């Protein structure tokens, strides 16, 4: 070990310490403010989504393309949102008044659109299931003159932890302000979305990873066979392409210009960046659960678990609030989430133009550029976009 190594470790430790103190100070000095679920754009997006359940043909399509989820041996299993999570807690107004201590689907949906309603999860003893619920829905989106089909599948976990592969000094500091295994209550954003073209051929797999999504193409980033197989990351629950061997995946908590550069291998690590660990040893047995598109599971505006001090450590709203409003239309999600392997400087330049934090917006010109890239890569695999 060189003489400079201890000094470098000390500087890293001291820097992270300052960062966490700053975050705690900001969080403690601020009020709730506007909840993420109340950002302009969500209401307009939901108003364009037809309500209801998938019909018989749509359910058959969802069954046909159901992803296979793999876990490391002994890894925490998912749960049932209504029967296990909601059944073990109290629904109340965020200022304290109790609404119900027997929270059912009907009770939660009655208060779906009130951002001032919160749920307190009190915990439970998880039990093994022969099969675990996988919440499935179908949506349609237009790109130019073609209709794309989006088959979305969500797992639910009682909590989400910090990524497994972060330096020891970051782990030590984060333990001072939270649990690495229970960073926030409820993880309902664990989403895999199979995209079909207008000929009903699978052309892409979109995976939710922390507060962003990544689009993978069969034959490019995915194998042509078994492309629907995914692994659930240890502790964080995020989804990655399947491998029976242990894998490490670069990950960040939220994508901006700096974290995107790190994600592509050309930038420095940020405070909450590191490596998600996966090991697809065991196939998880799942069964599809169909809820109306307008169900509170997807669209609840309030907080579905405890409020905690640090940004990103409080429980989320409904599962549909998984990205910024500007990126919610599924064709947009598909295109902006496609990043080619390697540094992909072209994507980074396009991203810098449309990403403006919560006020991000992407224009038709940049969408067309992203679509041309994807079309080229799909055509090389004999697929039509």
Mean pLDDT of 165-170: 81
Confidence (pLDDT) at 163: 84
pLDDT at residue number 265:
82
Task: Compute the distance between CA of residue 331 and CA of residue 7 in angstroms, rounded to an integer.
Answer: 48
pLDDT at 171: 79
- 98 pairs with which residues across the strands? 92
Please state the φ and ψ torsions of residue 269, each to the nearest 5 degrees: -65, 140
Nearest CA to 92 among 309, 307, 322, 313? 307
pLDDT surpassing 90 at residue 267: no
* pLDDT for res 23: 43
Q: What is the pLDDT of residue 27?
A: 37
pLDDT higher at 294 or 254 = 294
- Average pLDDT of 274-278? 95
**Predicted confidence band at 111 (pLDDT cuts at 50, 70, 90)?**
very high
* Highest mean pLDDT: which range of 11-20, 30-39, 315-324, 353-362: 315-324
Q: Which residue has the tokens 């699978």?
A: 202
Residue 378 in this model has a pLDDT that exceeds 70: yes
Over residues 285-301, the pLDDT tens digits come to: 999 999 999 999 999 99
Burial class from Cβ neighbours inside 10 Å (0-12, 13-18, 19+) for residue 377 reads middle
DSSP string, 104-149: -HHHHHHTTT-TTEEEEE--------SSEEEEEEEEEEEETTEEEE
pLDDT tens-digit map of 115-124: 999 999 998 8
pLDDT for the residue numbered 266: 77
Nearest to 189 by CA among 304, 269, 20, 355: 304
Residue 155 has pLDDT above 50, yes or no: yes
Taking residue 318's Cβ as centre, other Cβ atoms within 10 Å add up to 20
Say if residue 253's pLDDT is above 80: yes
pLDDT band at 184 (very low <50, low <70, confident <90, very high): confident
List the structure tokens of 172: 């030590």
pLDDT in the model for residue 34: 58
**Confidence grade of residue 32 (pLDDT, cut at 50, 70, 90):** very low
* pLDDT > 80? residue 7: no
What value does the mean pLDDT take over residues 199-217? 95
Distance (Å, whole) CA 108 – CA 295: 9
- The percentage of the chain sitting over the pLDDT mark of 90, rounded to a whole number, equals 69
Structure confidence at residue 96 as a pLDDT band (50, 70, 90)? confident
Q: Tell me the pTM.
A: 0.90
| Mean pLDDT, residues 38-42 taken together | 91
pLDDT at 30 over 60: no
- pLDDT the model gives residue 343: 87
Task: Supply the pLDDT for residue 292.
Answer: 98
Count, residues in the chain: 385
State pLDDT tens for residues 330-346.
Answer: 999 999 999 998 889 99
Q: Specify the pLDDT at position 14.
A: 47
What's the pLDDT score for residue 77?
96
pLDDT at 302 over 80: yes
- Give residues with Cβ within 8 angstroms of 286, minimum separation 6: 66, 69, 131, 132, 133, 134, 155
Residue 129 has pLDDT above 70, yes or no: yes
Q: Is pLDDT above 50 for 374?
A: yes
| Mean pLDDT calculated for residue range 179-207 | 92
State percent of the chain over pLDDT 70.
Answer: 91
């Amino acid at each position: 070990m060189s003489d400079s190594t201890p000094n470098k470790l000390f500087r890293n430790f001291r820097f992270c310490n300052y960062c966490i103190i700053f975050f705690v100070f900001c969080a403690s000095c601020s009020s709730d403010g506007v909840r993420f679920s109340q950002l302009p754009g969500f209401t307009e997006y939901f108003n364009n989504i037809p309500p209801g359940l998938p019909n018989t043909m749509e359910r058959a399509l969802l069954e046909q393309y159901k992803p296979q989820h793999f876990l490391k041996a002994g890894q925490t299993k998912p749960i049932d949102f209504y029967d296990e999570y909601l059944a073990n807690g109290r629904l109340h107004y965020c200022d304290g008044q109790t609404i119900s201590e027997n929270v059912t689907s009907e009770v939660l949906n009655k208060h779906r659109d009130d951002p001032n309603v919160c749920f307190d999860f009190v915990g439970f003893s998880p039990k093994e299931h022969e099969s675990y619920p996988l919440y499935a829905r179908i949506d349609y989106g237009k790109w130019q003159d073609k209709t794309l089909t989006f088959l979305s599948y969500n797992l639910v976990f009682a909590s989400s932890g910090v990524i497994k592969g972060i330096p020891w000094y970051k782990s030590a500091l984060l333990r001072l302000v939270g649990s690495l295994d229970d960073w926030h209550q409820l993880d309902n954003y664990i989403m895999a979305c199979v995209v079909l073209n207008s000929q009903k051929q699978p052309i892409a797999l979109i995976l939710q990873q922390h507060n962003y999504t990544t689009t993978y193409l069969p034959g490019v980033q995915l194998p042509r066979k078994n492309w629907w197989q995914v692994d659930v990351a240890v502790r964080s629950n995020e989804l990655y392409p399947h491998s029976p061997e242990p894998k490490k995946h670069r990950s960040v908590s939220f994508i901006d210009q700096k974290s995107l550069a790190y994600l592509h291998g050309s930038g420095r690590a940020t405070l909450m960046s590191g490596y998600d660990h996966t090991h697809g040893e065991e196939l998880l047995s799942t069964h599809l659960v169909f809820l109306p598109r307008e169900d509170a599971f997807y669209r609840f505006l309030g907080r579905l678990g405890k409020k905690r001090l640090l940004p990103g450590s409080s429980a989320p709203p409904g599962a549909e609030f998984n990205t910024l409003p500007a990126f919610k239309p599924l064709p947009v999600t598909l295109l902006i989430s496609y990043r080619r392997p390697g540094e992909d400087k072209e994507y980074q330049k396009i991203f810098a133009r449309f990403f403006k934090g919560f006020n991000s917006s992407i224009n038709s010109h940049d969408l067309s550029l992203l679509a041309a890239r994807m079309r080229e890569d799909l055509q090389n695999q004999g697929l039509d976009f």
